[in-house]
Chain A
């Protein structure tokens, strides 16, 4: 079964508009962490934002915010005022500690294209 599900393989958004990238997850661990990473065409993985399972408030980092709905097991990334440089692959990831082993697993990603 998929641990992390990203249902949007690709999205096109007009520059300066806000965009929401969807992510749902599946875990039985009470303690877990959720991450969003950006991967431009160069291949590097750029950390964007983190949400812990016990965090009461939604995480925010500049133009990035995470819409964390624990009961729904969703952790959508919201990018406000999109810029051309936001065009990239975006991955949602989850950290778990099953059986004492730390593990970070990724969703299939969403390719975001910002249109001028």
Chain B
């Protein structure tokens, strides 16, 4: 089945540094990928839609300059949290659709970011 690989699974960084999270579709091409943020015991909040070869579409309230998204190829999208602060600590998860409706969307395993 379709697989989305997300790395790293856990990262701890110092306040003020930047962190890059990668999301790869391993056996299919994804022109669109989605980035979500999930706080403990809460739902997945859509942050942005990543489009291959063009600018990402950000949801209202999401800072574009803080959460940089790059979708340079059909199999890779990256989310960079710039100048991270403790309030950016969260679970970040990406997803992509292989295209067939019955597959739904395949999700990465998520990245737990802790900013200290």
List A residues at the B interface (Cβ < 8 Å): 33, 35, 37, 43-45, 47, 50, 52, 91, 95, 101-109, 111
A-B contact pairs, 21 of them (CB 8 A): A37-B104, A37-B107, A43-B91, A43-B109, A43-B112, A44-B110, A45-B44, A45-B107, A47-B103, A47-B104, A50-B101, A52-B101, A91-B43, A91-B44, A101-B49, A102-B32, A102-B49, A102-B97, A105-B46, A106-B46, A108-B42
**Which residue in A33, A45, A109 is a CB contact (below 8 Å) of B95?**
A45
Report which B residues bind A (CB closer than 8 A): 32, 34, 36, 41-46, 49, 57, 91, 93, 95, 97, 101-107, 109-110, 112
Q: Which residue of A lies closest to B104 (CB)?
A: A47
Q: A101-B57, A102-B49, A104-B34 are in contact. Are A47 and B43 (CB under 8 A)?
A: no
Closest A residue to B9 using CB positions: A43
Indicate if the CB atoms of B91 and A47 lie closer than 8 Å.
no
What are the 8 closest A-B residue pairs judged by CB atoms, nearest first? Answer: A45-B107, A47-B104, A106-B44, A43-B110, A108-B43, A106-B43, A35-B104, A109-B43
Chain B positions within 8 Å of A43 at CB level: 91, 93, 109-110, 112
Contact at B105–A35, with CB atoms within 8 Å?
yes
| New A-B contacts (15) at CB < 8 Å, excluding given A37-B107, A45-B93, A104-B105 | A35-B105, A37-B104, A43-B109, A43-B110, A47-B104, A50-B102, A95-B105, A101-B49, A102-B97, A103-B49, A105-B46, A106-B43, A106-B45, A109-B42, A111-B41
